[in-house]
Structures are given as structure tokens and as C-alpha cells.
Structure 1
Amino acid sequence: MTTPHTKRIVCAGITTLDIIYGLDEIPTVPLKFRSTRMVTSGGGLAGNAATACARLGASVALIARLGDDPFAGMMIEELERDGVDCALVRRCPGHRSPVSAVVIDRRGERLVVSYSDPDIPADTGWIDARVLAGADATYAETRWIEAAMALLPLARAAGLPSVLDADRKPTRPEVLELASHVGFSAPALRDLTGIDDLATALAHASEKAANVYLVTDGERGAWYMDGRSVMHVPAFPVTAVDTLGAGDTWHGALAVALAEGQPLDRAVRFANAAAALKCTAFGGRKGMPDRASVDALLAGRG
């Protein structure tokens, strides 16, 4: 039997290369700007979530698609340095890997310009029950919707908790029914329901849902459904330096907590702590915390 720090998570979705620039303000006019700092880092929802899981002590496998360009090698090398198993990352000949240019202002807010090859194969015929060997939980997202549609039913059949990162309104709404836990971004939930108040929107969206719905809203914390009741878990107050990847960190941490069997209220607080700490360092993924830092914050020592 595994210990809480060796749970295995299988993540599926997009991984990117982020070129991150620091500026005082996010540009609003077409001029030349000089960055105060620059970092190259892996990014993308699933790539970030996998890294967050690994830094929190889990054993992680990533299912993703990349091109056959030099960027793919850079991304895989970084993921493997963090302990992410990339055996299930496919490199597609003749295609380009996802790349993003990111601007971070002095308040930690970000502007992202991303590119994904629209013709990269979406086939998921190679995602079958074997990818879940030894798994304790799964993670998927809406940027590679076909992978989510393939992986989440396998997790359900295996009786595993699963997290769907719904950072945008899904193109195939039926995916929301497949995960045990669906974590919305605030914009995605508002887009889905047409309701501005997040607690009300969450209750409305989950009226007929058999699974657990949650929503994150940055420094305002997170809400989740406990039966028919909407529960709120405040964010940990930090000075935000860089919010890039905070939501991905939150969803990865939630998957780790669920794999460990943490009660939902504790799992959301655990995810809030990981996301808060990520925001305290510049460089996107580079700011993701380790387990000791999260445990210290939860214990009041951080």
C-alpha cells in the first residue's frame, strides 16, 4: 500500500513552452517595450498540473502531444527533471509544439498569447486502461477535449477520483459528467451559466449533477458543493508576484489530495495553499511549491 507521498496521478492534456516577460504594466498600445526580466519555462494546463503533483510528492505520468521540433525536447527534459514520467507524451512528425508568450506585470497579473498547431493529431486510440496501471487519481482538461473524453471514463470504471480542469466552457458539454470532480475557473462558470455571482452560478450548474462541482476565483478563494450546499474556502493571503499557472497548480494539488483520500474541505484548503504559494515567485511553473512548503503553510508555519 502506498503512503500519502507516493500516490500515482495520471494527467492528460496540453503542455507548452512559455517565454515569460516581466513588465511594469501590461501593454495596451503597439510600441516596443523593454522587459525587466525573462524566464523560459514549461507551461500548459496538464504540463503544469503534472509538475505540481510531482512537487507535492506524487508519482506522475503525463499524456500529451508535442511536435517534432526542438521545443518538444526542451519541454520533456524539464518535465523529467521534475520527476514526471513522459513515456506517454507523443511527438507528432511534421507538427509544431505549443508555445506561449506571457507578460507578467508588477501586480502579478498576466497576458498570454499562445499558439497550438491546429492540425496536430487528436487521436486517442492509444489511451486505454493500461495507462491507469497503479494509478490513484487522474487529471484532465478541456484544451485537448478528446483526451479527457478518453481518460475520464476509464478512471470512473476503475473507481478512481478524477479532476477535470474546466478553465473554459467545454466544446463538448458531456465531458462535465465524466469526472468525479469538476473545477471551473470563474470565467468558465460564468460563461456556462450566465450568472455573475459564483456561489449562485455553482449551485445552478450543479442542480442535476451527480458529481462534485467547484470553482476558483484567485484571491477570493474557492467554492465547492457539499450536497446541495455551497461552501466557501478563503484563499491564503500572499503578495502575488506571478499568477501564471496558479489555477493549474490548484487542480494538480486537488488531484493529489483526492488521491490521498483527504476530505473535500481539507482537499480544497490544500489546493488553495499550493496555488497561493505558487503566486509568490516569478516564472510560472518555476514558482510551484514543494510538499514541505504547503504543509508548513497549512500548519501556520508559512
Structure 2
Amino acid sequence: MKFFVIGDVTVDHLYHLDRIPAPGQEVSPTRATMEPGGAGGTISVTLARLGHTVTLAARVGQDPFAEYALGRVRESGVLQTAIQQDPEHLTSTITVMQTPDGQRAMISHGAANRQLDPARLKKKDIEGADAVVISAYSLTEGPQRDYALRAIEIARGAKKPVPVFIDLGTGAVNKVGTRLMADVIAADYLTLNQHELLALTGTASISAALARLGEAGARRVVVKVGRMGSIVWSPEETELVDAVPPEGQVVDSTGAGDTFTATFAHAALTGLPLAQAARAANAAGALAATRFGAQARPITPADLERALGR
């Protein structure tokens, strides 16, 4: 199948710490690594590794970080015809500080990604895809937002409508808040975590939030609820899908949510029911967290077969 992915590519600086430093403090990490990341990069790499033809729309600077950010994108065979280079803005970077008990602090800059030029979006790329997957960071600001909205419009208006998957991110919903609802509600599939769900809807409980999305016209929603797994919702069903314990120790959650989204899109497009697709995604997200870096643990069809067969 063919996927068109819109999202960021970044260079991730990962620091594993005993504690997040207070202002003015200097601490030494237990581990420090630099890895390619970004929601767009991780989603596209995961889909390509699962055997799909993937085109990624992102923008990098003309700097040494550009090659590194796109390293695994290229290794995985993702098509780069929609990758743009920016002559003025730097390639995006993210600094992640993470403690053993799951606390995280991040410094991120959209940089070149936010300048994705909508004039270079090709209608045929959207109409020729089997699905479009969009990271909601693409909907926060700048020309990239216009690019993503135009892609959604083309997908919805195609002679054979193209399914749209939108994945929220904590930074995106924290930045835009409930105003993001208008942009994402038309998605065929909406994936997000519990915090993002409540912030997006301005509600205080998962049940109230899902009711709010239903009233607004949501079609299918998948809520990532950490160690409990995920919740799938549609106007016809609501089901808690249990987590799938990973084969290996969880060491780094960076990119696990993006891996979840990509795997869910893969499973849903191959015809699995919502709950089965979510179970596959639960397994993939957990496996991704057993390596350091967002794209370090390849997710294979054999991984998903084992997870679904348990």
C-alpha cells in the first residue's frame, strides 16, 4: 500500500538522568545519545519497514544535521520526493531529558519543518495514496499548517476519498489547545494519548472527552492509555484493548507513540477491526521502547503476528 506522511524530521538529543535538574543545577546523565527522530520520520520509517511504499513530506535545513535526521528515512527506502530544503532555517532538533520513573522534559524547535511550502504539494501524491498520515505538530503554525490542511482537503475531495489518520502530540495540543479540534475532527482515524484527549476537548474524564468528540463528528478514535493499553472508540463501539508486554526491557519511550500510530495505520488499512489494529499498535509501541532512540527498534510483520497470536 502507499502512504503519504506529513510530519517533522528531527535530530533527537537524548539524556537519561536520575532527576530533572532544577534551574541553575548541572547534572550528569547516566546515558546520552543522539538519534534521528521526529513524528514524520518515525511514522514513515515504521510504515516502510512494514513493507509499504511511503512518501514523506518534511523540510530540513542546509546544515550537517539534515543528513543525520534523514538517515534512517533513507535506509528504510522512504521516498524523498516531497522532502524540501530550507536555505535559511536549521534542521529541527529536540532535547529530551528522561528519568527512570518516566518523568520527561523537552526542548524542541520546529525550525525548517514549520516552513514546509504548500505550493510544492502535488495533488497526485495525495490522490494516489491509500492513506495520508499527519502529525498534528504539522497543524500548529506556519506554512506547514497550510500544507497539511491542503492535503486533508485533497484527500477528502478525491474521486475515491483517501483515508486520513491524524496523530496528536503533547506539544501540539499544549500549544494550540481546544482550537486544534476544528482541524483534526474530520480525520477518519484520530490517535492521541489521555492527556492530549482531555486538553483537546477541555474535559476532565475520558468518557466525557469521547462524548465530546462524538458530538463534534469524530469517526474513529484511539486513545493511548500507557500501561493499560489503548481505548478504541467509534459511534458503534468502545473497547479497552489490553497492553502487550514487550519482549525485552523498556529503556526509552521516545517515539513509541509515533510507532503506535504507524502500526495502527498499517493494521487498519490491511483490514483488521479497530480493536485488533490497536492491539498490534500496543505491541509495536512497547517494542519500540526497548531500544534507545525513536527509530532504533524495527517493527516487523513477524512481531505483529506474535503479538496478535498471544
TM-score normalised by the chain length of structure 1: 0.88
Moved over 4 A (4+): none
Cα distance in 1 for residues equivalent to 2:168 and 2:114: 22
1:220 matched to 2:228? The reply is yes
Q: Which of 105, 120, 123 is the matching residue for 1:111?
A: 105
Report the CA distance between 1:251 and its aligned residue. Answer: 0.9
Partner residue, 1:61: 55
Partner of 2:19: 25
Match of 1:100 among 94, 98, 122: 94
The runs of 5 or more residues in structure 2 that have no matched partner are: 140-144
User: What is the SS of the residue equivalent to 2:137?
Assistant: coil
Q: Which has the higher helix share?
A: 2
Q: CA deviation at 1:208?
A: 3.3
Q: Which residue of 2 aligns with 1:4?
A: none
Structure 2 CA distance for aligned equivalents of residues 15 and 295 of structure 1: 29
The one-letter code of the counterpart of 2:74 is: E
Can you list the C-alpha shifts for 1:46-86, whole angstroms capped at 9, x where unaligned?
11111121222222110011111111122223310122212
Distance 2:224 2:8 in 1: 20
In structure 2, do the counterparts of structure 1 residues 287 and 109 end up closer, same or farther at CA, with 3 Å as the change threshold? farther
Quote the residue 2:202 is aligned against. Answer: 194
Q: CA deviation at 1:225?
A: 1.6
Write the distance in 2 (CA, Å) between the matches of 1:123 and 1:294: 36
For the structure 1 residues 118 and 297, does the alpha-carbon distance in structure 2 shift closer, same or farther, using more than 3 Å as the test?
closer
> Distance in 2 between the 1:69 and 1:125 partners?
23
Amino acid at match of 1:230: T
Q: Is the 8 A contact 1:16 1:100 kept in 2?
A: yes
> 1:284 offset after TM fit, Å?
2.6
Give the letter aligned to residue 219 of structure 2: N
TM-aligned CA deviation for residue 291 of structure 1: 2.5
- How many percent identity over aligned positions? 29
Query: Is the counterpart of residue 241 in structure 1 residue 235 in structure 2?
Result: no
Show the counterpart of 2:305: 295
Aligned to 2:73: 79
TM-score by length of 2: 0.86
- Spell out, residue by residue over 1:103-132, the C-alpha distance to the aligned partner (whole angstroms, 9 max, x if none): 232245533211222895343122132213
> How many positions carry a matched residue from both structures?
294
Q: How far apart are 1:256 and its partner, in Å?
A: 1.1
Q: What is the CA deviation profile of residues 30-55 of structure 1, one whole-angstrom value per residue up to 9, with x for unaligned ones?
A: 32222222222111111111112122
The root-mean-square deviation of aligned C-alpha atoms, in Å, is: 2.2
Match of 2:164 in 1: 162
CA distance in 2: counterparts of 1:213 and 1:293, whole angstroms: 24
Cα pair distance change 1:287/1:74, threshold 3 Å: same
Query: Which runs of no fewer than 5 residues in structure 1 stay unpaired?
Result: 1-6
